[in-house]
Amino acid sequence: MTETPADDYDSPWKDVLEHAFPEFMAFYFPQAHAQIDWDHGHEFKPTELRQVVRDAELGKRFADALVQVTLKDGQTRWIYIHIEIQGSRDGDFAHRMFTYNYRLYDRFATPIASLAVLADEDEGWKPDRYGYEVLGCEHSIKFPVVKLLDHAERIDQLEGNPNPFALVTAAHLRTRQTRHDPEARYQAKRTLVRLLYRQGWERQRILDLFAVLDWMMRLPDGLQDKLWQDIQDIEGERKMPYVTSIERRAIERGMQQGMQQGMQQGMQQGMQQGMQQGRQAEASNMLQRLITRRFGLLSTEAHTRLENATLEQLEHWADNILDARTLEDVFRD
Residue type for position 205: R
Closest by CA to 259, choosing from 294, 205, 227, 221, is 221
* Cα separation, 45 vs 90, whole angstroms: 25
**Of the listed ranges 118-122, 224-228, 260-264, the one predicted with least confidence:** 260-264
pLDDT digits (tens, 9 = 90+) for 183-239: 999 999 999 998 988 888 887 788 888 888 888 888 888 898 898 888 888 877 777
- C-alpha pair distances (Å), 41 with each of 22, 36, 127, 218, 257: 10, 9, 30, 35, 33
Phi, psi of 242 (to 5 degrees): -100, -10
pLDDT digits (tens, 9 = 90+) for 52-93: 766 554 433 434 789 999 988 766 567 899 998 888 888 889
3-state helix, strand and coil shares in percent for the chain, rounded to the nearest 5:
55, 10, 30
Confidence of residue 8 (pLDDT cuts 50, 70, 90): very low
Please write down the long-range contacts of 25-28, taking CB distance under 8 Å and 24 or more positions apart: 26/163, 27/161, 27/163, 27/165, 27/166, 27/169, 28/115, 28/117, 28/146, 28/165
DSSP-derived 3-state class of residue 1: coil
pTM: 0.68
Express as a percent the part of the chain with pLDDT over 90. Answer: 31
pLDDT digits (tens, 9 = 90+) for 136-147: 999 999 999 999
* Cα separation, 162 vs 216, whole angstroms: 20
